[in-house]
Structure 1
């Protein structure tokens, strides 16, 4: 039976059971501080919610898979890009995948930014309560016999190591500044890597590259124009390669990327595809949504419209 919920004019049709998986250290511990308020807001919308605080690497993945096995109607990821990645990895392995809600409390929140999910926790809860769903693609990567999933970005190269090398305690204390500090340190070790890439529909690329990025959205590391044509549900990755260059040239390209002008630079290769294979004679780690995801060689593929996520279908929600 249709009912109106409080002053927020949320609409629900029946009570639903949700499992909220949260990182107590994300966003300077703001998620932990707001947990009671979040639960009250969801309860007012007819969403009966239990919680799980993550305790270490892989914990959110296990909890998301267990929540599906236990019949929860909704999974909610509350934290940053790392927490979201683990939740999506756990869900994507299952044949039945309930809707996913996102309450972003991390330092960067790339995927939430790309999907227009507001950083304001009250507005994020409202999106979940409104029950409007958007189908989104998921990326899957194979490294050896192991498969993992990502929702926003996969990549390799010295600067892609930033997000998982910055200590969580430092991010809790100083937020985005921690990445800038680490980036300055990384610049002194910036060097190209020999890569061989087989890109479906585009052939083979064998050269020295500063980094490679395989994106599912337009927002990567806070750069909102890195892949301007990327769509979350077109069944395609946007692949970006930066050819060998010196530090001054690399900084110039990064500045251009802030304005979305980098794709015409001769050092940048941009393509769209649904499958990529990457090999190298060197040791290169893989970044998956800001987390360490193994090392090359690896193959990447798109799983079209693999998850349904609560989003604003009337337009793009404000991100703040």
Structure 2
């Protein structure tokens, strides 16, 4: 049995429209499925809790929603062997983008029905887990501001880009103390630190282009020691991942990182607020089952 979790509010209501298309395909193919269509993440998680506690045979859990919905469901599925996938209908869709999951719903349903699975790594931050990227500093502040406005609802990933200019007017870089595995380093005038398991965040920003979710590594991008105009130049190249070789960018691979700063900095994971620094992130190898 395939179980579909549909967030009615995701993508300006697009999830429900997409679900009706998928339902038609499943019916034609005589696939056994169940579905819950909800307005809130809490309703989704309540349904999922009851489902996991039942004795029902679960072929896969498939979410129709964005990265916030995915983040909540993933943290609920940790420790189970239930495979997960997503049909992207949110504003950012960075997890789907990184995993090559398209908006060709006929194609994606065909892939799901092959029931091919694999394990991927997760990022562990405090008592939570993250599938895509942990952002610290300027990018986390941008994500927080974008989430607070109505722009994200109407402009999707573009909202992050538009919010950059608003935040840039007042944001000041910070001195950061890092512990990279066992090596301690200090970076001055740090704008942002991105800690990645997948390449994308912020609605298509390719912040860590070499990040892979099955290599047991954290890919870390640190942008520092730059005036604002140079930061804008780097951000102009970040959508295609061309920024990593530019001056003022350090790109590192480690298994764990600890971050401390003179002033508390915002921390996000999968675009969701996680609090402020100090914080620690590590990789959890082969921690999650996903559909191919």
How far is 1:137 from its partner?
0.8
* 1:160 maps to 2:140: yes
How far off its partner does 1:61 sit?
4.7
Aligned residue number for residue 193 of structure 2: 212
Q: Tell whether the 8 Å contact from 1:212 to 1:240 is kept in structure 2 after alignment.
A: yes
Moved over 6 A (4+): none
Structure 1 residues 174-217: Cα deviation after superposition (integer angstroms, max 9, x where no partner):
33343333222112123202221111154433433101000111
**Matched length:** 288
Which of 5, 21, 27 is the aligned partner of 1:37?
Answer: 21
Q: How does 1:165-314 map to 2 (within 5 A)?
A: 165-166=145-146, 167=148, 169-200=150-181, 202-223=183-204, 225-311=206-292
Separation (CA, whole Å) in 1 of partners of 2:277 and 2:51:
31
Give deviations 1:24-79, integer Å, cap 9, x for gaps. Answer: 122221102232332343353523222141425x5545544443223451211211
In structure 2, the partner of 1:121 is: 105
Post-superposition Cα deviations, 1:244-302, rounded to whole Å, max 9, x if no partner, equal: 32110101111232343322223111111111111223121211111111222111111
Distance change in 2, residues 1:241/1:62 (3 Å) = farther
Asked if structure 2 preserves the Cα contact closer than 8 Å seen for 1:201 and 1:273, the reply is no
Alignment match of 2:31 (pick from 31, 42, 46): 46
Given that 2:178 and 2:185 are in contact with CA atoms closer than 8 Å, whether structure 1 keeps it comes out as yes
Give me the CA root mean square deviation.
2.2
CA distance in 2, matches of 1:45, 1:168: 42
For the residues of structure 1 that align with 2:26 and 2:276, how far apart are their CA atoms? 40
List runs of 5+ in structure 2 lacking aligned partners: none
Question: Could you tell me how far apart the structure 2 residues matched to 1:272 and 1:61 are?
Answer: 34
Q: Aligned to 1:80, which of 55, 63, 66? A: 66
CA 99–256 in structure 1, closer or farther in 2 if over 3 Å, else same: same
* Distance in 1 between residues matched to 2:166 and 2:266, nearest whole Å: 18
What is the TM-score when the length of structure 1 is the normalising length? 0.82
Tell me the CA shift for residue 225 of structure 1. 4.2
Structure 1: tracts of 5 or more residues without a match: 1-15, 312-320
